[in-house]
């Protein structure tokens, strides 16, 4: 496992991070989830990403159980605030930021959160109020680094303009071979201001995992076939996209890589990216993914990937 610094913060994180969206505290048994967390630690993963809204707190509670007896300095915890946690419990007002942070601390069973991120932008709350509340949490020792997920360049610039607050050091956008939108403005803007990227969906919600083939129905147990998850994958599972992704297989094989390894190495080729978040329902999936850390793709291979996917990039 290789490690990178998160922006201009003092946090060093593993290139591969373990996430808990749609898995831990929800669709995966607690026993299997704990096994995955322990396998991640054994594989050198130090960054674990969650959110208060995942399983309505259940994902955070699961991580607390998984980390029982493990030294706190062996892992970096990232969680988020904004999404609804009950009636009237939504957004980034100062009251909500404080309340939800304390609730996350209790569920996670820790004295501090390493990376506390705004899950989305809150247009109903003055940005100075949100930034001030986050700064208070840092000054109180409850949070080490603050950040955001899926903010527009305009949102980020507005935050940078707020005076006398703790600056953001983390950004969490969707990023993959099939979703490249952050490259245009978010990556360079953040790099110029010491904000690192922890990217999610580097496998395009599984579309780049190798499990889907053109002209064939998705596996019955896959996300593309699941109730409540298939709609989120619609753009990535369109037939022209699957056909293009199929053409990546010989490129991965020639490089001695699996499809997930190729996709993760492609994301990690960017110096702005500190870590790529993967999900796992079985420990062996973690071991397969971590081998992408440290892989360098040749320039001609990157060019071939771009040519193959030229008409398949959806964002």
**Percent of the chain residues past pLDDT 90, beyond the cut:** 85
Give residue 261's pLDDT: 97
pLDDT at 57: 93
Residue 67's CB is within 10 A of a number of other CB atoms, namely 21
What is the pLDDT, as a whole number, of residue 233? 66
Q: How far apart are CA 35 and CA 62, in angstroms?
A: 11
Least-confidence region, from 174-178, 218-222, 240-244: 218-222
Q: Residue 87: CB partners within 8 Å, gap ≥ 6?
A: none
Residue 235 sits at φ, ψ, to 5 deg, of -65, -40
The domain over range 3-211+267-295 is classified in CATH as 3.30.450.20: no
Share of the chain above pLDDT 70, in %: 93
Span 146-174, average pLDDT: 98
H runs (alpha helix) in 161-215: 186-192
Q: What is the pLDDT of residue 235?
A: 82
Helix %, strand %, coil % for the chain, to 5? 40, 15, 45
Q: Indicate if the pLDDT at residue 225 is higher than 90.
A: no
Could you report the per-residue pLDDT of 62-76, keeping only the tens digit for each? 999 999 999 999 999
- CA distances 221 to 218, 225, 252, 289, Å, are 8, 7, 24, 20
Q: Where exactly are the structural domains of the chain?
A: 3-211+267-295
Query: Which pTM does this prediction carry?
Result: 0.93
Q: What is the pLDDT of residue 64?
A: 96
201 Cα distance to chain centroid: 7
pLDDT band of residue 219 (cuts 50, 70, 90) is low
Active site positions, annotated: 54
Res 237: pLDDT: 80
Mean pLDDT over 48-59 rounds to: 95
Closest CA to 97 of 77, 122, 61: 122
Residue 147 has pLDDT above 90, yes or no: yes
Whether pLDDT at 227 is above 60:
no
Taking residues 29-41, report their average pLDDT. 93
Distance CA 107, CA 87 (A): 19
- Taking the CB of residue 298, how many other CB atoms lie within 10 A of it? 9
Say if residue 221's pLDDT is above 80.
Answer: no
What is the reported pLDDT for 298? 97
pLDDT in tens, 233-292: 678 888 999 999 999 999 999 999 999 999 999 999 999 999 999 999 999 999 999 999
pLDDT for 70 equals 97
Distance of CA 303 to the CA centre of its chain: 25
């Amino acid at each position: 496992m290789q490690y990178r610094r998160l922006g201009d913060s003092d946090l060093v994180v593993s290139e591969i991070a373990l996430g808990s969206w749609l898995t831990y505290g929800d669709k995966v048994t607690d026993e299997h989830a704990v096994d995955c967390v322990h396998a991640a630690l054994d594989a050198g993963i130090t960054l674990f990403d969650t959110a208060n809204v995942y399983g309505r707190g259940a994902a955070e509670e699961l991580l607390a159980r998984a980390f029982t007896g493990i030294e706190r300095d062996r892992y970096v915890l990232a969680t988020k605030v904004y999404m609804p946690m009950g009636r009237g419990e939504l957004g980034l007002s100062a009251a909500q930021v404080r309340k939800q942070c304390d609730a996350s601390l209790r569920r996670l069973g820790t004295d501090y959160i390493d990376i506390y991120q705004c899950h989305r932008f809150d247009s109903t709350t003055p940005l100075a109020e949100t930034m001030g509340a986050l700064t208070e949490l840092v000054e109180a020792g409850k949070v080490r680094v603050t950040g955001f997920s899926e903010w527009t360049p305009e949102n980020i610039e507005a935050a940078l303009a707020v005076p006398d607050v703790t600056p953001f050091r983390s950004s969490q956008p969707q990023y993959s071979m099939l979703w490249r939108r952050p490259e245009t403005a978010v990556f360079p803007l953040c790099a110029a201001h010491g904000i690192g990227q922890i990217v999610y969906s580097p496998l395009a919600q599984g579309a780049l995992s190798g499990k889907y083939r053109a002209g064939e129905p998705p596996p019955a147990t896959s996300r593309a076939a699941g109730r409540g998850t298939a709609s989120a994958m619609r753009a990535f599972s369109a037939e022209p996209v699957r056909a293009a992704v199929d053409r990546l297989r010989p490129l991965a094989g020639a490089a001695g890589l699996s499809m997930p390894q190729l996709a993760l190495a492609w994301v990690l080729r960017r110096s702005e990216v500190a870590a790529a978040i993967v999900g796992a329902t079985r420990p062996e999936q973690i071991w397969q993914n971590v081998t992408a850390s440290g892989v360098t793709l040749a320039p001609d291979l990157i060019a071939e990937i771009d040519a193959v996917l030229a008409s398949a990039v959806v964002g």
